[in-house]
Amino acid sequence: MSILFRLGTFCQRGIRPVLLCNTHLSRGLVAHQKNQDVQPFQLAAQRIHATSSHSTVSSSRAASKHWTGERVLSIALLGMAPAAYLCPGPLVDYSVAAALTLHGHWGIGQVLTDYVHGNAKVKLAKAGILLLSTATFFGLCYFNYHDVGLCKAVSMLWRI
């Protein structure tokens, strides 16, 4: 019962849904017309324009494709683990090197997007992550070509 009393005092005109209270809606979204024959609270649809620009739509598609690519790569990495154990070889070694590098590049890129702010800092951070990812990929390829390869190296570490 006290909840009903509090809602009544909170909305100031009896019990109504809390979202229709004047205190919860911004004045730009609500048209309150007192002396006309309309509802007291009506969304001002004439003030809201829901059209989006072409660049917003294309960037939304690119973000969706990027998200899908990340999920496909994650599933591919799950499949590469048994393949690397069951049939180690150059094809699997280079595939694992490329997939792990790309997975790390995208992951660290998301961390940088969340925590690095400012145009100069963002550009410097993106250049740094690109340099780090390139060096990582070429280092793994060098290891695959001149040494035993990633799969054999991991199995040798497990034997220790």
Residue 75 CA to residue 60 CA, distance in Å, equals 23
CATH number at residue 92: 1.20.1300.10
121 & 82 share domain = yes
Supply the range of the domain harboring residue 25: 2-43
CA distance readout (Å), 98 to 36, 101, 128: 67, 5, 18
36: which 2 tokens?
């006309």
Residue 146 forms part of a structural domain: yes
3-state DSSP percent of the chain in helix, strand and coil, to 5: 70, 0, 30
Is 50 exceeded by the pLDDT of residue 71? yes
10 & 77 share domain = no
Q: Which residues pair with 43 in a beta bridge?
A: 30
128 & 83 share domain = yes
92 & 146 share domain = yes
Residue 65 forms part of a structural domain: no
Q: Is 115 assigned to a binding site?
A: yes
130 & 79 share domain = yes
Backbone φ and ψ of 87, nearest 5°: -140, 75
pLDDT band at 28 (very low <50, low <70, confident <90, very high): very low
Residue 51 forms part of a structural domain: no
12 & 80 share domain = no
18 & 94 share domain = no
Q: Is 145 assigned to a binding site?
A: no
Note the pLDDT of residue 156.
Answer: 92
Residue 81: exposed, middle, or buried by beta-carbon count in 10 A (0-12, 13-18, 19+)?
A: exposed
Residue 14 forms part of a structural domain: yes
Is 70 exceeded by the pLDDT of residue 33? no
Domain count, the chain: 2
Residue 126 forms part of a structural domain: yes
78 & 130 share domain = yes
28 & 81 share domain = no
79 & 152 share domain = yes
Residue 52 forms part of a structural domain: no
Residue 145 forms part of a structural domain: yes
Contact by Cβ (8 Å): 71, 79: no
Residue 8 forms part of a structural domain: yes
86 & 150 share domain = yes
Write the single-letter amino acid at 150.
L
Per-residue pLDDT tens digits for 82-118: 999 899 999 999 999 999 999 999 999 999 999 999 9
Backbone φ and ψ of 17, nearest 5°: -60, 140
Is 60 exceeded by the pLDDT of residue 149? yes
